[in-house]
Every structure is written in structure tokens, then in C-alpha cells.
């Protein structure tokens, strides 16, 4: 029932998202079971140094309830953008809203997943940047779209600096989706540079010394770590994720093999995007010992839609969805 409800192409599915966010807030490992503890976790996860995150940091430090309200808005906005880009660029055989559900569940399964950190806030701009490139395939006048993608990546980088690395994904998407045009490769980095320079200039005059890009890559030393969970939860979660990963590989390979060339190119660009986010997650782990959850949840929600979309496997699909929901509730409420 849950999978079937989100499998349809109706905007009414978003009415269930606030219920899920409130049910699963503050997400796995956010410390304790009460909302105020989640506010403390949000304050501890602050990453200083990038200018656009400064006002958000002050808001979250002011009240733990602000963290919950902002998280609800961000989840709704990111889920809508992610789902719209996926449908408009024809990543799937038919339009659906499964990524909306899966994004919430995967964020709740990860430590501090629903806490509005810098990478979480910047991801909406990343998704829109990819959408500008993917949905402009086959259209004339693409120069404005690719320039906009660079501007959006510049905005995302002003929240979380490693997002600048995704410029290579824009170039890879251009390489596989359209004939070579040197202007399309120059405009995205120009747009990103323009946004970073404008932001740097504003910060330089309004708050000199507030922008410290190196510091933005590290979390504060006193940031709380994820709380310990029962060993059985780890075993069950690992088993479920391994089974789902195998189903994702098999289903995506099947869908990719029977795709027409234009759609196959878009799905290849999506794979490049997923691979780049995976590299960023590894880099974050090696550098700081913690991965921003949205780097895994956003591409994971898009990938996991492939095995859950076919109607012929309704029973197994429902079992997988409800299993993820129960695991998320376990992570939220146990202990």
C-alpha cells in the first residue's frame, strides 16, 4: 500500500511527507528521543567557514524547534526537486513519486540525517543544477541552461565547498548527451566563478574574515557523535541494504540495457553524478570521519526507485518499503 501510494504520479503524496518527518525526527543517532536533543545535535554539527550557512547556523543555535521546522521545509523542497528532475529527465520508465518516500526514509536511517547541515541545504541547488543540464538535452539555446547550472553549483558551494567538484559531472553530462561545443564547457565554470566571487566580495565588505573555506571542511571538535545502537539493528540494516543494493544493480542494468540512446545517455550522466557523490562521501570520511548523510540519501533514493517501481513485484516491493520504515522507526525510537 505504501509503495503503491508513492508509485502514482500525484502531487497529493507530499501530504504524507510532513507526517513521516515528524514521526522520524530527529533521525538515527541524533541523541536521545526528544526534540530538544536534536537541536543540540544540530548545533554540534555546525560547519563554520562558508558564508551562506552563517545565518542558518545562528537560527539553529537559537532554538531546537527551528531545526525541526527547517528540516521539514528542506525535506519537502529537496524531495520535490529530486523527484521532478528525475521525472522530467526520464530517468524512469514512467513518472512516479517513489524518490520522495525513499529520501525521507534513507535520511532517517543515517546518523543526523534529518539535521539541516551545510551539505543538506546546498543539495537543493545541486539537484537543480543537474536538472538544468539533463532536461535541456535535444533543445536549442542550451547555453543559458549550462550557465545556470554553474551558477547553481556556485550557490551550493557557498554552503558546502566540496560541491564545486561536481563541475566534472556537468562536463561529463554534456559529453554524453550532446555534440561537442566548447562554449558549453566554458560557461558552467564561469557561472560558478561569478557566484563565488560575488559571494566572496559581499562577505569581504560585510564581515571580513568570516569566510574560511578550509575550516568549512571540518566539523567542530566538540560535535556530538551518533549514539550507540543495538547490535541487532546493525545486522538487520546491513542485511536489508545488501539485498536492496543487489536488486538495484540488477534492475538498473536491465532498464539501462533496453533504453533508447537518448535516455541511456541521461542515465549514464546520472551514474556519473552518483559516482561523484560517492567520491565526495569517501573524501569526507577520510578527512573528518563523518559523511554528510544527504550525499548518500539523495542518489540512494533515485537508485532504489528502480527495483521498487515495477508493479509485477508488488509484494516484495511493499515488504522492502515497510522494512525501511520500520528500521527508521527503530533507529528513531529505540533506546
Per-residue model confidence (pLDDT) at position 209: 67
Length of the chain: 335
Choose among 184, 193, 17: nearest CA to 105.
17
Residue 51 neighbours by CB distance under 10 Å: 21
Segment 247-270 shows an average pLDDT of 92
Segment 185-212 shows an average pLDDT of 84
Percentage of residues in the chain having pLDDT higher than 90: 44
Residue 29 pLDDT > 60: no
Per-residue model confidence (pLDDT) at position 101: 94
Cα distances (Å, whole numbers) of residue 172 to 296, 303, 329? 20, 19, 38
Evaluate if pTM is beyond 0.85. yes
Per-residue model confidence (pLDDT) at position 312: 80
Per-residue model confidence (pLDDT) at position 225: 60
Q: Give CA angle at 293 (94, 70), nearest 5°.
A: 85
Name the DSSP letter for residue 216: G
Q: Are 167 and 150 in contact (CB under 8 A)?
A: yes
User: Each residue of 114-170: pLDDT tens digit?
Assistant: 888 889 999 999 999 999 999 887 666 688 889 999 999 999 998 898 999 999 999
Higher pLDDT: 72 or 201? It is 72
H helical segments located in 158-230: 167-177, 182-206
Cα distances (Å, whole numbers) of residue 78 to 1, 13, 14, 19, 212? 24, 14, 12, 16, 27
Choose among 196, 220, 193: nearest CA to 288.
220
Amino acid at each position: 500500500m505504501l509503495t503503491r501510494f508513492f508509485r502514482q504520479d500525484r502531487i497529493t503524496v507530499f501530504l504524507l511527507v510532513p507526517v513521516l518527518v515528524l514521526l522520524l525526527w530527529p533521525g538515527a543517532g541524533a541523541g536521545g528521543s526528544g526534540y530538544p536533543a536534536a537541536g543540540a545535535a544540530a548545533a554540534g554539527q555546525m560547519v563554520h567557514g562558508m558564508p551562506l550557512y552563517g545565518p542558518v547556523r545562528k537560527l539553529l543555535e537559537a532554538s531546537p524547534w527551528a531545526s525541526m521546522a527547517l528540516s521539514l521545509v528542506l525535506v519537502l523542497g529537496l524531495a520535490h526537486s529530486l523527484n521532478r528532475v528525475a521525472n522530467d529527465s526520464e530517468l524512469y520508465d514512467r513518472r512516479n513519486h517513489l524518490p520522495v518516500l525513499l529520501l525521507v526514509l534513507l535520511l532517517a536511517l543515517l546518523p543526523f540525517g534529518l539535521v539541516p547541515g551545510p551539505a543538506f541545504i546546498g543539495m537543493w541547488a545541486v539537484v537543480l543544477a543537474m536538472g538544468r543540464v539533463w532536461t535541456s538535452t535535444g533543445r536549442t539555446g542550451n547555453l543559458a541552461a549550462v550557465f545556470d547550472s554553474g551558477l547553481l553549483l556556485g550557490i551550493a558551494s557557498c554552503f558546502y565547498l566540496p560541491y564545486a567538484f561536481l563541475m566534472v559531472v556537468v562536463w561529463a553530462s554534456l559529453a554524453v548527451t550532446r555534440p561537442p561545443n566548447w562554449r558549453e564547457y566554458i560557461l558552467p565554470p564561469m557561472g560558478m566563478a561569478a557566484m563565488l566571487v560575488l559571494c566572496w566580495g559581499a562577505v569581504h565588505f560585510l564581515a571580513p574574515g568570516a569566510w574560511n573555506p578550509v575550516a568549512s571542511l571540518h566539523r567542530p571538535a566538540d560535535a556530538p557523535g551518533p549514539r550507540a545502537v543495538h547490535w541487532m539493528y546493525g545486522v538487520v540494516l546491513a542485511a536489508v541494504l545488501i539485498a536492496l543494493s543487489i536488486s538495484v544493480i540488477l534492475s538498473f542494468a536491465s532498464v539501462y540495457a533496453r533504453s533508447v540512446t537518448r535516455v541511456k545517455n541521461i542515465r549514464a550522466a546520472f551514474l556519473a553524478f552518483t559516482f561523484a557523490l560517492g567520491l565526495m562521501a569517501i573524501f569526507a570520511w577520510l578527512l573528518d570521519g563523518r559523511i554528510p548523510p544527504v550525499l548518500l540519501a539523495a542518489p540512494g533514493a533515485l537508485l532504489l526507485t528502480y527495483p521498487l517501481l515495477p508493479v509485477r513485484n508488488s509484494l516484495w516491493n511493499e515488504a522492502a518499503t515497510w522494512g525501511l520504515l520500520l528500521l527508521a522507526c527503530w533507529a528513531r525510537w529505540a533506546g
